[in-house]
Amino acid sequence: MPILTSLQRWAESFPDQVAVAVDDDKVSYAQLRQRILDHHGTTGLTVLNRVNSVDVVADFLAGVSGSGCVAMLDPHWPAGQRAEVEERLRGIATGSDAPSAPGAPGPGGRTAERLTDGPAESTFLYGFTSGTTSLPKAFRRTRRSWQRSLEHSAEVLHLTRHDRTLAPGPLTASLNLYALAESLQAGGSFHTLERFGVAAVLGCLERERITRLVAVPTVLRLLADRAVAAGRVDRGLTCIVSGGARLDAATAGLLQRWAPHATIVSYYGAAELGFVAASSVAPGDAAGSGSGSGSGSAGADSAVGQPFPGVSIRIADDDGRPLPAGATGTIQVVSDFVCDGYLWGDDGEAFTRVGGWCTVGDQGFLDESGVLHVLGRRADMIVSAGTNVYPQEVEAALHRVPGVQAAVVTGCPDAVVGTRVVAAVVAEPAVDAARLRNACISALAGEHRPRDFFRLTELPVTTAGKVSRGLLARWIEEEDPRVVRLR
């Protein structure tokens, strides 16, 4: 792990400061350092598959100390899927020794009584992302890739040593695991929860006087909507970081009502690519007018910002030829932040290299100002009556409807148009199909407008906390009680 030298320094400089807190369980920098040093093992692979806890954080850091490596498995995977992943991992050797058993403590990783970082080009993390089959794709990351990211992310993502960061999602997700790493690198205090819950997050924000919140846009909207509806204003938050998906202007505006003193930073990236582009909105500025944002409502909804420091971006056609400003194509990047590729699961639908350029298949364009606009992943695109529809643009239109807390758009088979666009919302009772349909008529062209609308009793999310359009389509097909047609 590329942060252990920093952790050692903070343990010496301010040993009693809280380093990590999971709910009410807290450890100081000195205590965390000692937990890592107390681990004894061999250089190799540690497999972790437990829910968030201080012990998991300590085991993870011990596992990646020295030249060790950790695989982060989602504990909510089905037993058969987890067993297959663990079996594949047993065949992977890291360093000179065989991998340790799943869940076992990792290597000691110490020189005398000091924590040490391993070689920059060595692998420290095996992460997982969804694939086209039931088995997750596995990718590898070197220490160098996160070291380079950490050189820039504290400034871009507004992190200081005095921040108390809350990332309430599972540490198996790259967004949350990186939030842990960057907080410890900067010498801040990192907070998370064993299990996510809106009330639990809002309580933690107030109880722990959190200054910085990191989450995906859907979670941020749920939190802000609940808080604003209750008349709560959080004046202690100074930064809200949105990652994992594009933050729409309506959600940004809601966040400003909830946390008026917070800078809102939104970044676009992928687990395989790392950071790609970012933008920020200062307190008091209109949502969509911050650094790196586009102009106009359509531009603001698709704009994700200027290239992240150290990242080059281009747009290419299907033959890999670069396209001019304004032309839509595949987003490709060159940076030191990208992963080293897949161990398995390479289905050609995500991370690929085209010469020195890398992509996960997302579609978008660069405007004349160099701002990147993301339309969506090619695999998510809905082709309806010969028209390409990106779910994100439809969701952005629905998020502007008063009373809509969250929106998910997917495609369902249709005998006439091939695939029809459908939308499901978490919304107040007064929100009906007519209101949603009228909003889409005023904001979207013909085939981009949903044919059917549904109300959700809960969001269709994966065990990693990400909204799944495929799961929504399955709920609709199976007439799952969690999704009800709006008339």
**What are the domain boundaries of the chain?**
304-379, 381-485
pLDDT for the residue 112: 53
CA 96 to chain centroid: 33
Q: Among 47-56, 212-221, 295-304, 435-444, which stretch is predicted with the lowest mean pLDDT?
A: 295-304
Q: Over 80: is that where the pLDDT of 53 sits?
A: yes
> In the structure, what pLDDT confidence band is assigned to residue 464 with cuts at 50, 70 and 90?
low
- Fold for 381-485, please state it: GMP Synthetase; Chain A, domain 3 (3.30.300)
Q: Over 60: is that where the pLDDT of 111 sits?
A: no
What whole-number distance in Å separates Cα of residue 287 and Cα of residue 259?
A: 13
Whether the Cβ atoms of residue 19 and residue 185 lie closer than 8 Å to each other: no
Query: What SS3 state is found at 369?
Result: coil
What's the CA dihedral at 167, 100, 136, 67 to 10 degrees?
Answer: 60
What whole-number distance in Å separates Cα of residue 274 and Cα of residue 254?
A: 27
pLDDT for the residue 76: 83
- Kindly give the pairing relationship between strand 362-366 and strand 329-334: antiparallel
Query: What SS3 state is found at 96?
Result: coil
Bridge partners for 26 per DSSP: 21
pLDDT one-digit tens code per residue, 211-234:
999 998 889 998 999 999 999 999
Instruction: Indicate the residue type of 322.
Output: P
Whether the Cβ atoms of residue 362 and residue 330 lie closer than 8 Å to each other: yes
pLDDT for the residue 293: 46
φ/ψ of residue 266, rounded to 5: -120, 130
Which among 271, 253, 179, 244 has a CA at the least distance from the CA of 467?
A: 244
Whether the Cβ atoms of residue 462 and residue 468 lie closer than 8 Å to each other: yes
What whole-number distance in Å separates Cα of residue 195 and Cα of residue 173?
A: 13
Global pTM reads 0.84
φ/ψ of residue 5, rounded to 5: -65, -40
State whether the Cα torsion 472-477-478-480 is positive or negative.
positive
Angle between helix 4-13 and 54-64 (nearest 10)? 120
Q: In the CATH scheme, what is the code of domain 304-379?
A: 2.30.38.10
φ/ψ of residue 397, rounded to 5: -65, -40
Percent of the chain, pLDDT > 90?
66
Q: Which two tokens stand for residue 238?
A: 């100074």
Average pLDDT of every residue of the chain: 88
Whether the Cβ atoms of residue 148 and residue 310 lie closer than 8 Å to each other: yes
What whole-number distance in Å separates Cα of residue 82 and Cα of residue 152?
A: 35
User: Which whole-number Å values give the CA distances from 247 to 129, 243, 305, 332, in the listed order?
Assistant: 21, 8, 11, 21
pLDDT one-digit tens code per residue, 9-40:
999 999 999 999 999 999 999 999 999 998 75
φ/ψ of residue 152, rounded to 5: -120, -30
